[in-house]
Amino acid sequence: MERQVDFSTVAAFSVIDQQRHGYIDFESLRKFLSKFKKDLKKTDINSILRRIDQDADGKITFREFSAGITPEYPGVASNSENNKIDFNQEKKKEIRR
């Protein structure tokens, strides 16, 4: 999803955070998933929250959301400063080969 040309992390977060609280909580995630006929059990929604909520406060901030949906690629170094993958470094390696 994130690798699509028109994908925006900010837009995706905003769609889920309809109340504009600045975070995603259980209820906003439940409402979002139910719009797409994804009626999950409470335990499933709590599992998603726990997986992405890094500070365990029951709320997913934009930073946590962004880090949570960014795919990890084995063998590709990530920039620990902002958890973004440095694709330029990988492209440089390909060019050198």
Q: For the segment 11-26, what is each residue's pLDDT rounded down to a tens digit? A: 999 999 999 999 999 9
d(CA 15, CA 47): 20
* Mean pLDDT value across residues 22-38: 91
* Strand, helix or coil for residue 18: coil
- Centre a 10 Å sphere on the Cβ of residue 17 and count the other Cβ atoms it contains: 20
Domains of the chain by range and CATH?
9-96 (1.10.238.10)
pTM for the predicted model, two decimal places = 0.66
Alpha carbon 55 to chain centroid distance?
15
In tens, the pLDDT along 40-94 reads: 899 999 999 999 999 999 999 999 999 998 876 666 555 545 544 454 555 455 5
Pick from 39, 32, 67, 36: which is nearest to 53 by CA?
Answer: 67
For β-strands 60-61 and 84-85, DSSP reports them as unpaired
What the block records as the tokens of 66 is 């962004």
Q: What band does 37 get if pLDDT is binned at 50, 70 and 90?
A: confident
Contacts of 22 (CB under 8 A, 6+ apart): 61, 62
Q: What band does 6 get if pLDDT is binned at 50, 70 and 90?
A: confident
Q: What band does 28 get if pLDDT is binned at 50, 70 and 90?
A: very high
Q: Which whole-number Å values give the CA distances from 41 to 9, 64, 89, 92, in the listed order? A: 26, 22, 42, 45
The pLDDT, as a whole number, for residue 69 is 85
